[in-house]
Structure 1
Amino acid sequence: MKEKLRFLFTLGAFLFVIIVVLSLFSIKKPKKAARYIPPKVFAGKIAIVLDDWGYSFNNMHIIEQIKSPLTIAVLPDLNYSRAIAENLHRKGFEIILHLPMEPKDKSAMEKNTIRISMNEGQIAGIIDKDLSSIPHVKGVSNHTGSMATSDTATMEAVFRVLKKRKLYFLDSYVTADSRCFKVASKYGLRFSKRDVFLDNKNDPKYIKKQLYILRDKARLKGYAIGIGHDRRNTLEVLRDVIPEFEKEGYKFVFLSEIVQ
């Protein structure tokens, strides 16, 4: 009898241990809280316009590495103007006409430059010809033009054509005497003005510094427009810096998304 009780006691103890062990395994460990990732805060819009395309294909392999929106300003009537516009349009970039306009320094003017001595018919003829030479154009910017953009009559003639064509205008703002904003307002033309020149010095450190200035302007007023050129250093710096700015919450957009 004692041995039977001892056996039952041992068996009960054994079963109790098994139950305790099994219950320990069945207790679910609390899940680790998911790491909080704060939402990306929108910091401002940035539009980059790259001037003077049309001379060569030399930098195409660099710009094709940039996957963010850029606006390409193509000079008319050059050997590669049409082909570059077609190619970069297919890559998803926005195309505008970079219209040669009369500067105060007459030493280096493109052919068929818009001059203040021209009448409205001559100006319209040049713009129509230039637009026919470049496909997919959404807007126009001035190439040089310190003399022309400061002349009200000339800009009225230019803007009447653009208004009829439903194109916007970017004032590269090469002179503080520019009349572009006043005339654009008169005609209800979609318009904007350059904030920062990015590459007045063809030096990577300088270009990067200018991009940081552009970024700060975008943060302060909600958007900013920077103008650079078809240059290796400019494109390589943009390729490297744009992802950094995007991580900070800046949105790169086409110029057409900023003009008003």
Structure 2
Amino acid sequence: MKGKHKYSSILVAFLAVIVIVILLIYVRKPGKEIKPRPAAKPRIAIVLDDWGYNLNNLHIIEEIRYPLTLAVLPNLSYSKRVSQELYQRGFEIILHLPMEPKEKYRLEKNTILTSMSEAEIINIIAKDLANIRYAKGVSNHMGSMSTSDTKTMKIVFAEFKKRHLYFLDSFVTARSSCPLLAYRMGLSFAKRDVFLDNSDNPGYIKQQVYKLKAKAKSRGFAIGIGHDRKSTLQVLKKVIPELEKEGYKFVFVSDLIK
């Protein structure tokens, strides 16, 4: 009996060791807690149009230490100088290309017209880009007639694509042919969401910036267009840091181009 009891004890001990080994091998330790990735910050790109008439606001904009995209009109008294100085300050430069509006008034020199030939249009674009050397893209100045004319925009877009430029549609008409045409032609493209300063009133401008903020929050990004005006720059100088603290990220338009 003693031999059988001893044998049983050894067998039980052996089985217990096997069970412990199995548990050590197959029972895993609790894994590390997987933390969710932080949500991406809503991105805002602000474009300021109509640089080139003067140098009046350079001292204000250099105090705004955030990415801004600045649209410079070609062939004005200060076009070359202002584009160079703003580029050297780290801002993104685009050509603000004069294009034909439905209301024919206050047209800039060498405005692209729907009546022009392909050669005329290409010649204007080449001269304007030579004047604004640092342009990374192009936006339309006025252009309610031109941007709604597919024939004209095909010529324009083909030239931009050849030069590896993106196009920002200021979207001055709901009849713009640009979004669909850019998609079909494979052109890098973006579209304005909010105009910031149809009024010079600081309260109005701030309200429009908040509309831009709401758009960015709901969609993930938004593009606003303002102008080279003291009132606009002063509002942006104050509001941009506030929005950054709220979690919004300010970027160039090129950062939003797919």
Q: With structure 2 as the length reference, what TM-score do the two structures score?
A: 0.85
Residue 82 of structure 1: aligned partner: 80
Label 1:206 to 1:40 Cα distance change in 2 as closer, same or farther (>3 A).
farther
Q: 1:57 aligns with which of 42, 55, 60?
A: 55
Q: 1:251 aligns with which of 245, 249, 252?
A: 249
CA contact (8 A) 1:59 1:230 kept: yes
Opposite residue 250 of structure 2, the aligned amino acid is F
SS at match of 1:224: strand
**More off after superposition, 181-190 vs 156-165:** 181-190
1:69 and 2:67 aligned = yes
Q: 1:134 aligns with which of 115, 132, 135?
A: 132
CA contact (8 A) 1:42 1:251 kept: no
Task: Encode CA deviations 1:135-173: one digit per residue, 9 max, x unaligned.
Answer: 211000000000000000000000000000000000000
Rg bigger for which structure?
1
Q: 1:183 aligns with which of 181, 184, 196?
A: 181
- Report the Cα offset of residue 40 of structure 1: 8.5
Rounded Cα–Cα distance in structure 2 between residues aligned with 1:178 and 1:96: 20
Q: 2:156 aligns with which of 155, 158, 162?
A: 158
SS at match of 2:93: strand
Task: Encode CA deviations 1:87-143: one digit per residue, 9 max, x unaligned.
Answer: 011100000000000000101110100000011111000000000001211000000
Structure 1 unmatched ranges of 5 or more: 1-38
CA contact (8 A) 1:49 1:226 kept: yes
Rounded Cα–Cα distance in structure 2 between residues aligned with 1:54 and 1:120: 27
Opposite residue 254 of structure 1, the aligned amino acid is F
Rounded Cα–Cα distance in structure 1 between residues aligned with 2:222 and 2:141: 20
Task: Encode CA deviations 1:1-37: one digit per residue, 9 max, x unaligned.
Answer: xxxxxxxxxxxxxxxxxxxxxxxxxxxxxxxxxxxxx
Q: With structure 1 as the length reference, what TM-score do the two structures score?
A: 0.84
Residue 42 of structure 2: aligned partner: 44
- Report the Cα offset of residue 74 of structure 1: 0.1
Residue 21 of structure 1: aligned partner: none
CA contact (8 A) 1:101 1:115 kept: yes
Residue 92 of structure 1: aligned partner: 90
Overall identity of the aligned pairs, in %: 61
Q: 1:119 aligns with which of 102, 117, 120?
A: 117
Opposite residue 81 of structure 2, the aligned amino acid is A
Rounded Cα–Cα distance in structure 2 between residues aligned with 1:259 and 1:224: 12
CA contact (8 A) 1:40 1:249 kept: no
Rounded Cα–Cα distance in structure 1 between residues aligned with 2:104 and 2:170: 18
Structure 2 unmatched ranges of 5 or more: 1-36
CA contact (8 A) 1:42 1:250 kept: no
Aligned Cα RMSD in Å?
1.2
Rounded Cα–Cα distance in structure 2 between residues aligned with 1:83 and 1:170: 23
Q: 1:109 aligns with which of 107, 118, 131?
A: 107
Residue 194 of structure 1: aligned partner: 192
